[in-house]
Chains A and B, each alone.
Chain A
Amino acid sequence: MNMKKLISMLLISACIVSMAACGSKDEGDKKEESADEKQTLVMATNAEFPPYEFHDGDDIVGIDAEMAAAVAEELGMDFKIEDMAFESIIPAVTGGKADIGVAGMTVTESRLKNVNFSDTYAKATQVVIVKEGSDIAGPDDLTGKKIGVQLGTTGDIYASDIENAEVEQYNKGFEAVQALIQEKIDAVVIDGEPAKEFVKDAEGLKILDEAFTEEEYAIAIAKDNEELLEKVNGALKSLKDSGKLDEIVAKYIKSDAE
């Protein structure tokens, strides 16, 4: 009796696994077809990352959103944004739910295992936010501290390597900042531009002068879609050459002098 039950359970799970495997293959085929027919460029992002992407009324705006829209225009395609959790963006791109992932994403080795990246389009830094009067003066002081990060970001990956540090992975960047304001954590490691926005809105926080790391953002594209990768790189180049990209960046990032 028990043996029978066990065997039937095994069979059922084998069925489910094989169905799931077939399912993903079908999706891959469909994706290519629909991309050709509809000509809509679908961008996956996490719209809680100002000034690169954030909600403004009903729209998602920001540097990434406008740049991707400009890329779609260059390519003569319709444009659509899908908002999702940051860690879901790459699976969405590999699974064909979206064509490109644009979310202030840094090129890392483990990401390259799963997707291709376009040429980089922006320089960025990972910075450390602390409360004013904190004893943390530089990235080296983070050893053994409680650090808040946004799950799956490069800040998360780097912070996890810090010795003895306790890393708390929040779903959203601003929630980590909120926890910092309430002194539940000692520091937040996050991308430089969003950090400026967060600190601007919150009292008693400051960004350490010394950056945690320097990095560059790029657009994620599925590995089997080399054609789109070339097209996007071409469009990016013409946006850079025409000065349009700088224009978009300048619209959202005021230089420190101002």
Chain B
Amino acid sequence: MFQELQEKFIDNFITDDRWQYIADGLITTLQVTFFAVIVGIVLGFLVAVVRSTYDKTGKLKVLNALCKLYLTVIRGTPVVVQLMIIYFVIFGDSRDISKVVVSVMAFGFNSGAYVAEIFRSGIMSVDSGQFEAGRSLGFNYFQTMRYIIMPQAFKNVLPALGNEFIVLLKETSVSGYIALQDLTKGGDIIRSRTYDAFMPLTAVAILYLAMVIIFTKLVNILERRLRSSDH
């Protein structure tokens, strides 16, 4: 049995340097995830600030309506459909658009909607007494947000945020739909050459798992650092 496994391993990964499909795919997946996370955080943060400012003060009415529209559309449609719309419709007539850029946009915009709601729940979870205290100390609205509300909110939402990015990392596996060679597609290409399902799929699964485990560790460390200021 071990010999069979060894033969399969060689056929799937060593012959024709097939491991490179997996290695290249891994790099692409990491690139897409990394930049999509950044886009998601920036976008989500801005939307959350607009939404909670409206909730607290009633200002920014138009922006709030726009943000709500964005949340409804993005959360109401599957990410793989959004991805294909961006690639085949929005950039339908642009020749040299990079697929990595398209994927970063699709997954970043998508993640931004979820991050926005996570941030907003964090901001709203901070006791309103904190807000009043800030204002009575002479801080204006944005100073109160910046120095009193946000640091507490961020700490509260960190676990949920970590969760969102784990989901995002795994969601990038659908980018094969626009023929981007990500990790999953790398495994698929090997499968299409060797017709073996076990080895390539297991290898891909293990790599996703390893990435998520490492990422979870990093979030845990950050969480612990931030908690230490509580005592």
A interface vs B, CB < 8 Å? Answer: 20-21, 24, 86-88, 90-91, 94-95, 110-111, 113-115, 148, 151-152, 156-157, 168-171, 175-176, 178-179, 182-184
Contact = CB atoms under 8 A, between A and B. Distances in A.
Interface residues of B, number: 22
A110 B93 contact: no
B120 interface: no
A45 to B, nearest CB: 15
B198 A87 contact: no
A95 B196 CA distance: 10
A169 B95 contact: no
Given A168-B179, A182-B88, A20 B191 contact: no
B195 A114 contact: yes
Contacts of A113: 195
Interface in B121-141: none
Interface in B66-95: 88, 92-95
Contact of A152 (B94, B177, B192): B192
Interface in B159-213: 176-177, 179, 181, 185, 188-189, 191-198
A151 B192 contact: yes
B62 interface: no
Contacts of A169: 179, 181, 185, 189, 192
A21 B92 CA distance: 45
Nearest to B16: A160
B177 A182 contact: no
A170 B179 CA distance: 5
A179 B93 contact: no
Given A169-B179, A170-B179, A157 B193 contact: yes
